[in-house]
Chain A
Amino acid sequence: MEKVLMKGNEAMAEAALRSGCRFYSGYPITPQTEILEYLSWRLDEVGGTFVQAESELSGINMLLGASAAGARVLTSSSGPGFSLKQEGISYLVAADLPAVIIDVMRIGTGLGDIMQGQGDYLQLTKGGGHGDYHTIVLAPNSVQENSDMMDLAFDLAEKYRHPVLIASDAAIGQIAEAVELKEFREHDRDKYEWSIKGCKKGDEQRKIQNTYYTMPSYPEYLKAKYAGMESNEQRWESYRVEDAEVIAVAYGISSRVSKEAVDIAREKGLKAGLIRPVTLWPFPVKAFAGLKSVKAFISVEVNILGQMADDVRLATQCKYPVGSYGTFYDIPDPDVLVEKIEAFYEKEREK
């Protein structure tokens, strides 16, 4: 299929309906609003439903109802709006309902601001809402991946009957790049036995509620579900890591500049590499196995605290120093990252 030029947010919206999604309910918030605007006319064209909800809370609960009725469903938000969706995400998990929820990350705590950020890492990967759960989190780093990952997200949501989150950011959402869109796929709302459709004589009544109400072995079921995700769904990209001594770990927009930094460092004779988590949860622990030359890692993120660094430490069983290059809202600078890699070698020489 030929390539078209699209904004990252619009590519996600178009890809969602090509994945068979026919229901979207959302609320405006920068920098994700293009998704809402695009689907307000585009879903109508393909016979789907678009609802501009009165709040993120209402939107996520409309989504829950549509999912319970058997549809492929999508909503999106950012920062403060994404926090309001946490109630519904927790309920989706509890009721074993598939859904795809996009967080086009902006910066900061509280209101924050509208520029790109990666400060929702902990919220996205460690649960986020109340209770005892994880969600699969996919992190695209290009407009093409924004499109490709929607397909994957809906398939994973269906496979595990679980919400799947997309961790995009303002930069990836707002840039325009060439993208090859996928073919249309159909979704049959009657595909699942479990979805509500009307209880015929002889049918078992369908109850969409906390799964554990009717499942005595729920703890084992939930643990097995997450163990399955951890063994089957880790995704990552490794770049020049074979002989690397200093490996940057970065996702989304940060991974693009980190890749550039690796190339610059290599030209200077420094053995740098990059591991790019494509799934933030499950964290790609497998990517860190069998690295023979590595001496240190540096986590590169658009946040103040370096939220991902702890996961790198855990993935490497705390055997290596893990540095952090966190900006506040600037996209990390490849030259600064190279300086940090150079500083590591400087220290090594001093030893």
Chain B
Amino acid sequence: MNLKVPESITFAKTGFCPGCGHGIAIRLIAEVMEEMALTEKLLAVVDVACSSLAIDMWRFDTVMAAHGRPIPTAVGVKHIRPENPVMAYFGDGAAYNIGMAETVHAALRNDNICVFVVNNSVFGMTGGQMAATTLPWQKTVTSPYGKDPKKYGTLDITKVIGQMDIAYLARGELSGAAGIEQSKKMIKKAFEKQLANEGFCLVELLSECPTNLGMAPVDMMKHVHTAMAGYFKPGEFIDKGGSGR
């Protein structure tokens, strides 16, 4: 079999767990950059959590931002290099827990950046603690009896910024050929919109975390497609040119 891999993939020793969704997401972004001839232009910002490991997996110039701050960091980068595509690539804990104010306000400003949120429903790097995205009654190391929806809600980002004046809001899944192919299309569309100066694009990618959810990789993929995609519906929620840019 002839394996063709984008040039921006380094094949450095990976820190990601076997069965993790990040590898798929990184591959998709690298493929999209190659197809759009943006590999030498992309400027990436990652978080300090699991997404930080991506800095060694790809050859894009990259900033590792503080926890929850990849969006403002990417905004700063974009203002100085507006001709370069800029993305913030990080997890749901950073985007919707500690960095929620930054996520909402970047949408409010309709900042012209791409945001890719890898949603695995837990804090991965620190060992699988409960996150805003943890499903009702899901067991984690900080919700050992299951997440009680009366005490902690489950956050669906499309209900928070779904009515805002931004360019693109979509959710894909990193599970199954169809889901992965759809996710790739969403990633590509987000970059096309940034190049067209349309504004803020957020694509959430439902992802595997077999280590912290205690599942075998194949069961984990099924869980993403059934339980996670059952709660967090995939699809395109906003698809328009943002105003005022």
Contacts and interface: CB of A to CB of B under 8 A. Distances in A.
A316 to B, nearest CB: 39
Contact of B105 (A58, A67, A201, A206): A58
Interface string B207-224: 000000000000000000
Nearest to A69: B80
Nearest to A50: B79
A91 interface: yes
B43 A69 contact: yes
B73 interface: yes
Interface in A202-233: 205-210
B76 A62 contact: yes
Contact of A88 (B8, B59, B66, B104): B66
A188 B245 CA distance: 26
A264 B64 CA distance: 56
Contacts of A65: 45, 63, 65, 72-78, 80
B103 to A, nearest CB: 10
B84 A66 contact: no
A196 B66 contact: no
B95 to A, nearest CB: 14
Interface residues of B, number: 35
Contacts of A69: 43, 76-77, 80-81
Nearest to B39: A199
Interface in B34-65: 39-43, 45, 52, 55, 59-65
A295 to B, nearest CB: 49
A54 interface: yes
Given A49-B79, A69-B77, A61 B60 contact: no
Nearest to B69: A61
Contacts of B74: 65
Nearest to A72: B80
Interface string A138-163: 00000000000000000000000000
A266 to B, nearest CB: 51
A26 interface: no
Given A199-B60, A201-B40, A68 B102 contact: no
B71 to A, nearest CB: 8
Interface string A35-53: 0000000000000010101
A181 to B, nearest CB: 25
Nearest to B84: A198
A54 B79 contact: no
Contact of B62 (A57, A63, A189, A196): A196
Interface string A55-90: 101110111111111110100000000000001100
Given A54-B102, A71-B80, A189-B80, A198 B42 contact: yes
B5 to A, nearest CB: 16
Contact of B64 (A58, A201, A210): A210
A251 interface: no
A199 B69 CA distance: 23
Nearest to B83: A198
A61 B73 contact: yes
A199 B77 contact: no
A157 to B, nearest CB: 16
Contacts of B78: 65
Contacts of A347: none
A69 B69 CA distance: 16
A200 interface: yes
B196 interface: no
Given A69-B81, A198-B41, A198-B42, A64 B73 contact: yes
A197 interface: yes
B60 A68 contact: no
Nearest to A201: B40
Residue among B8, B42, B75 with most chain A CB within 10 A: B75
A207 B62 contact: yes
A255 interface: no
A9 interface: no
Interface of A: 23, 25, 49, 51, 53-55, 57-59, 61-71, 73, 87-88, 91, 95, 189, 196-201, 205-210
Interface of B: 7-8, 39-43, 45, 52, 55, 59-66, 69, 72-81, 84, 101-102, 104-105, 109
18 contacts: A23-B80, A55-B101, A58-B72, A58-B102, A61-B76, A64-B66, A65-B63, A65-B65, A65-B72, A68-B63, A69-B43, A189-B81, A197-B43, A205-B61, A207-B64, A208-B64, A209-B55, A209-B63
